[in-house]
Amino acid sequence: MARNVSTQRKLVTTVLAWTIGILIFFPILWTFLTSFKTEAQAIASPPAFLFFDWTTENYFEVQSRSDYFKHFMNSVVVSFGSTLLGLLIAIPSAWAMAFSPTKRTKDVLMWMLSTKMMPPVGVLVPMYLIFRNTGLLDTRSGLVMVLTLINLPIIIWMLYTYFKEIPGEILEAARMDGASLAKEIIYVLTPMAIPGIASTLLLNIILAWNEAFWTLNLSAAKAAPLTAFIASYSSPEGLFYAKLSAASTMAIAPILILGWFSQKQLVRGLTFGAVK
Amino acid sequence: MGSITLKNVSKVFGAHAVIPSIDLDINDGEFVVFVGPSGCGKSTLLRLIAGLEDVSDGAIVIDGKNATELPPAKRGLSMVFQSYALYPHMSVRANIAFPLKMAGEDKAVIDKKVEDAARVLNLTDYLDRKPRQLSGGQRQRVAIGRAIVRQPEAFLFDEPLSNLDAALRVNMRLEISQLHQQLKTTMVYVTHDQVEAMTMADKIVVLNRGRIEQVGSPLELYHRPDNLFVAGFIGSPKMNFISGGPAASHQAHTIGVRPEHLVLSKDHGMWQGTVGVAEHLGSDTFLHVNADGIGTMTARVSGDFAVTHGDRVFLTPDPQRLHRFDEKGLAIR
Amino acid sequence: MGDAMATLHTRSAARLMIAPSVLLLLAWMIVPLALTIYFSLLRYNLLMPGMEEFAGLTNYTYFLTDPAFFQAVFNTLAIVLGVLFITVVGGIGLALLLDQPMFGQGIVRILVIAPFLIMPTVAALVWKNMFMNPVNGLFAWLAKLVGLQPFDFLANAPLFSIILIVAWQWLPFATLILLTALQSLDEEQKEAAQMDGAGALSRFIYLVLPHLSRAITVVILIQTIFLLSVFAEILVTTNGGPGTQSTTLTFLVYAQALLQFDVGGASAGGIIAVILANIVAFFLMRMIGKTLEA
């Protein structure tokens, strides 16, 4: 049966969907526009949408005043570091659970996921004290460790669901062909799971980039990633809308661009491998 | 060389004995087919030989050496899987080369062996393609290529043709048989299809519920089935079984007559019946006859035997080819 | 058949490979939690070092009788349920819309995904200053445009405002999961239902909704995990106020620990938060377990 959708109906859907899409996106667009205004234009009433004197001075000012690049590098190191470390630990585990399951595998997975249910405040105090006493407070490596731990269950879960889709026979074939376990994982499983691993990588970089409990509480001036850098604009300085917008744009742009460029992996990853 | 001996091999999953205990000898160069209905343990048996599963008890001896504890890679066996299990991210060349690469062979040696295998299997033009760009039959050949480059002691095939369409299946059947004649390497082949078993095997092992029902050449099994199960499983259409009065007159609990061993006549014979469905194949016709007092029987007659639905016919078994079984289902000889 | 590769070798290798994750997560769960329990039984303030003493359950009674505690529990639940409601209902609607044929679907999808990629601190600050600010915000301008008095969202409806901001961040997630699930609905099933004379509404109720149940469960599970610990959005907008009107359990413990330096009290609060989260988790896991098994 052919599905005949009238052009008229398609037009109505298009207009509706675009309107909603733009409304949802509007706060980001508005931030982006405001970042190019002068402070006076930023709070002008009625607000100027496109017809104002575009300027990039806010960006330079944010960089010179709060050293954007330092925080940017902190974010990069912390989010990539924790995700890669997490993958390194999680790939073997996910292999084990997907291809050598036992009666307890499901329980172990559920338990791992349940560690995510533990509210971070439950362990805030000891973590803070441990970090303070071991000199990990306000260090990148400290943040990498914590973010690895909090995202590990998600990484394992996602990899597990992706690995489950790979037929066990192919790994058995590798075994028959003389591959050791390490070679089986490196030459056969990992390349086959590249799309899934990419989605996992991407989603966890995003989660780590945007993580705003541990990064706010365990970092100060030195290791603060962009989440904390932006939080400093909640003080009265925040009233400078144009500079706030410039700082915000710089904080979100890297991940926004990364997300858009790898939309396919992102969409796949967003479902945490749980929905097909 | 490639002889395989199973001594008292058993496999237990939890409380369930998939294979209670099996003894079997596979001679070097033999084409052995494990055949049986699904769930009979034939694939498990193959996986035990391969080393993909541990035996619960017993020993597996390959080429005179105890291989029971060896990992799959060290047993010198190659396997062709039901799904072909090709590495989707590798080219055909890399797929076939993989076992050699794992064995640490020289690059030049690998290239030569891969080219040779590709030539034998008509894959030369496809060496740089990915598996997904190949047809089912070509994938099958890549899987076989990957198996032969290593020059194993024996090949293991796990239902390799079940994913192919009927015409291709007949072709590949022939190709595998030819390959066996060329290489003269031991092959162990698992299938649920008795036609494959009959056409390819030197020796058939009929399995049922984890036990060996009978071992023999195709014709031995056809002519002298040891029991009801083998009699019913081997041969197509299935053997007709009759118990009660007609069987008692032959001093048996059950008698069996193959459809091709029933003589049909329109006017005289031992049993009378009505034609139900007639399946015309052209050369032959399969008649499903409702025999009075006996039940439905299948008869295979020449294609020119003209009857239709509702006709009365007479059936007479060939007395030389009548199979007699006792109450335990064992053949009376 | 045969998915489980079962030789002794692979099984022991598997155990070895799963060990690092299990040990790390076990340590992560047990060590800090044990310390929290220990601290919760002490009178321990960072401003008075060396004065630690055993305090029994005083910290707990103190925390549980604090009126702010009940407010915080209520606020936490309100945020979780409010955001879940908005995102699930809105997500279903949006997913149904995006599943229709249209021009530029890819671009609309990019627009809709965007809020998920925004860090919470940025989202909250942008909404707080540029939209909800009663003087310079866009909402104030819109209100004046239609002749209304500008509304001070964060002062007069702090909880609602925070729910709105968080829902904006999570709506893309719900939408995308539901859209993915929707697209996997067999076209022939829909056509069969159409042939059976089912209208659009009954197709939605009897076909689409049951098909989405697994996806909805996933949305609820994952969002709840993250929503129970919403923090940054409160920190940079209301700071828990006015009063304790927008203080959640997470924020209350944070304030106790890092603003008042009361380690004992904060630890007791943390343990209470863990217990409450476990109660939620228990019901959630049962629900998930059932749906995911199916």
Burial class (CB in 10 A: 0-12, 13-18, 19+), B67: buried
Q: Specify the domain boundaries for CATH 2.40.50.140 within chain B.
A: 245-325
Q: Specify the domain boundaries for CATH 3.40.50.300 within chain B.
A: 4-231
For C33-43, the pLDDT digits (tens) are: 898 899 888 88
Share above pLDDT 70 across residues of chain B, in percent, rounded to a whole number: 100
- For the domain covering C57-293, report its CATH number: 1.10.3720.10
B239: confidence class by pLDDT, cuts 50, 70, 90:
very high
* Interface touch C141/A171, C-beta < 8 Å: no
The confidence score (pLDDT) of residue A274 equals 60
Inter-axis angle of helices C209-227 and C263-293, nearest 10:
170
**DSSP symbols for C75-119:** HHHHHHHHHHHHHHHHHHHHHHHHTS--TTHHHHHHHHHGGGGS-
Domains contained in chain A, CATH given = 7-57 (no CATH), 63-270 (1.10.3720.10)
State which fold the B4-231 domain adopts.
Rossmann fold (3.40.50)
* Dihedral in degrees, nearest 10, Cα atoms A6, A8, A10, A11: 160
Arithmetic mean of pLDDT, B160-188:
90
Tell me the backbone φ, ψ of residue B58, rounded to 5 degrees.
Answer: 95, -175
The confidence score (pLDDT) of residue B34 equals 96
* Interface touch A174/B81, C-beta < 8 Å: no
A230-244, B81-95, C251-265: least confident range: A230-244
* Interface touch B102/A176, C-beta < 8 Å: no
Residue B53 touches chain C, beta carbons under 8 Å: yes
**DSSP conformational letter for C150:** P
Spatial neighbors of B229 by CB under 8 A, at least 6 apart, are B206, B208, B213, B329
For C102-141, the pLDDT digits (tens) are: 888 889 988 998 999 999 999 998 999 888 988 888 898 8
The pair of three-digit structure tokens given for residue B301, joined into one six-digit string: 């007659």
* Interface touch C2/B54, C-beta < 8 Å: no
Residue A110 C-beta-side C-alpha neighbours within 13 Å = 16
Among C7, C9, C11, which would you mutate to test the B interface (most chain B Cβ atoms within 10 Å of its Cβ)? C7
Backbone conformation region of residue A227, classed left if phi is above 0, alpha if psi is from -120 to 50, else beta: alpha
Arithmetic mean of pLDDT, B54-72:
91
Q: Kindly list the residues from chain A whose CB atom is less than 8 angstroms away from the CB atom of residue B150.
A: 177-178
Given a contact cutoff of 8 angstroms between Cβ atoms, the answer to whether B95 and B142 are in contact is: yes
A168–chain B nearest CA distance, Å: 9
Arithmetic mean of pLDDT, C75-87:
95
- For the domain covering B245-325, report its CATH number: 2.40.50.140
Residue B14 touches chain C, beta carbons under 8 Å: no
Arithmetic mean of pLDDT, B112-128:
92
* Interface touch C6/B54, C-beta < 8 Å: yes
Residue C193 C-beta-side C-alpha neighbours within 13 Å = 16
Tell me the backbone φ, ψ of residue B264, rounded to 5 degrees.
Answer: -105, 145
Q: Kindly list the residues from chain B whose CB atom is less than 8 angstroms away from the CB atom of residue A172.
A: 50, 52, 72, 79, 81, 85
The confidence score (pLDDT) of residue A269 equals 74
Q: Kindly list the residues from chain A whose CB atom is less than 8 angstroms away from the CB atom of residue B86.
A: 170, 173
Residue whose structure tokens are 């859209």: C179
B24–chain A nearest CA distance, Å: 22
User: What's the CA gap between C10 and A189, in Å, rounded?
Assistant: 15
**DSSP conformational letter for C262:** B
For B259-273, the pLDDT digits (tens) are: 999 998 888 888 899
The pair of three-digit structure tokens given for residue C141, joined into one six-digit string: 């301008």
Q: Which residue of A has its CA nearest to C250?
A: A121
Among B48, B81, B162, which would you mutate to test the A interface (most chain A Cβ atoms within 10 Å of its Cβ)? B81
C12–chain B nearest CA distance, Å: 13
Global ipTM: 0.85
The confidence score (pLDDT) of residue B150 equals 86
The confidence score (pLDDT) of residue A4 equals 57
Q: Kindly list the residues from chain A whose CB atom is less than 8 angstroms away from the CB atom of residue B50.
A: 172, 176
User: What's the CA gap between B195 and B178, in Å, rounded?
Assistant: 17
Arithmetic mean of pLDDT, C64-89:
93
Which residues 171-200 of A have a C-beta within 8 angstroms of C? 171-172, 175, 181
Tell me the backbone φ, ψ of residue C150, rounded to 5 degrees.
Answer: -55, 145
Inter-axis angle of helices A7-34 and C67-98, nearest 10:
140
SS3 per-residue string spanning chain B: CCCEEEEEEEEEECCEEEEEEEEEEECCCCEEEEECCCCCCHHHHHHHHHCCECCCEEEEEECCEECCCCCHHHHCEEEECCCCCCCCCCCHHHHHHHHHHHCCCCHHHHHHHHHHHHHHCCCHHHCCCCHHHCCHHHHHHHHHHHHHCCCCCEEEEECCCCCCCHHHHHHHHHHHHHHHHHHCCEEEEEECCHHHHHHHCCEEEEEECCEEEEEECHHHHHHCCCEHHHHHHCCCCCCEEEECHHHHCCCCCEEEECHHHEEEECCCCCEEEEEEEEEECCCEEEEEEEECCCEEEEEEEECCCCCCCCCEEEEEECHHHCEEECCCCEECC
A219-223, A265-269, B199-203, C178-182: least confident range: A265-269
User: What's the CA gap between B92 and B80, in Å, rounded?
Assistant: 15
- C3 has a pLDDT exceeding 70: no
**DSSP symbols for A60-75:** HHHHHHH-HHHHHHHH
B307–chain A nearest CA distance, Å: 43
Total-model pTM: 0.83
Among A177, A184, A187, A194, which would you mutate to test the B interface (most chain B Cβ atoms within 10 Å of its Cβ)? A177
Q: Kindly list the residues from chain B whose CB atom is less than 8 angstroms away from the CB atom of residue C13.
A: none
Backbone conformation region of residue B84, classed left if phi is above 0, alpha if psi is from -120 to 50, else beta: left
- C198 has a pLDDT exceeding 80: no
Strand order in the sheet with B323-325: B240-243, B254-257, B323-325
Chains that touch A (3 or more CB pairs under 8 A): B, C
**DSSP conformational letter for A185:** I
Question: For strand C53-54 and strand C42-43, is the pairing parallel, antiparallel, or unpaired?
Answer: antiparallel
* Interface touch A183/B78, C-beta < 8 Å: no
DSSP helix/strand/coil, C6 = strand
Arithmetic mean of pLDDT, B296-313:
89
B141–chain A nearest CA distance, Å: 15
Arithmetic mean of pLDDT, B228-253:
88
CA dihedral over A195, A201, A204, A205, signed as positive or negative? negative
For C201-256, the pLDDT digits (tens) are: 888 888 888 888 888 988 888 898 889 888 889 988 888 878 888 899 889 988 88
* Interface touch A119/C249, C-beta < 8 Å: yes
Cis amide leading into A195 (omega within 30): no
Burial class (CB in 10 A: 0-12, 13-18, 19+), C271: buried
Residue B77 touches chain A, beta carbons under 8 Å: yes
- C4 has a pLDDT exceeding 50: no
* Interface touch A167/B85, C-beta < 8 Å: yes
Taking alpha carbons only, the member of C195, C216, C183 closest to residue C287 is C216
A227–chain C nearest CA distance, Å: 6
Arithmetic mean of pLDDT, B304-323:
88
**DSSP conformational letter for C44:** -
The pair of three-digit structure tokens given for residue A113, joined into one six-digit string: 């996921």
The pair of three-digit structure tokens given for residue A264, joined into one six-digit string: 């396919």
* Interface touch C6/B71, C-beta < 8 Å: no
User: What's the CA gap between A247 and C125, in Å, rounded?
Assistant: 11
B125: confidence class by pLDDT, cuts 50, 70, 90:
very high
* Interface touch A47/C138, C-beta < 8 Å: yes
User: What's the CA gap between B203 and B19, in Å, rounded?
Assistant: 20
b/e burial code for range B175-210 (CB count within 10 A of at least 16 → b): ebeebbeeeebbbbbbbbbbebbbebbebbbbbbeb
The confidence score (pLDDT) of residue A2 equals 44
The confidence score (pLDDT) of residue C293 equals 56
Element spanning C53, H or E: strand C53-54
Spatial neighbors of A15 by CB under 8 A, at least 6 apart, are none
CA dihedral over C188, C193, C199, C205, signed as positive or negative? negative
The confidence score (pLDDT) of residue B286 equals 92
Stretches where chain A sits below pLDDT 50 are 1-2, 238
Q: Kindly list the residues from chain B whose CB atom is less than 8 angstroms away from the CB atom of residue A178.
A: 73, 99, 102-103, 150
User: What's the CA gap between C105 and B57, in Å, rounded?
Assistant: 61
DSSP helix/strand/coil, A54 = coil
DSSP helix/strand/coil, A101 = coil
C2: confidence class by pLDDT, cuts 50, 70, 90:
very low
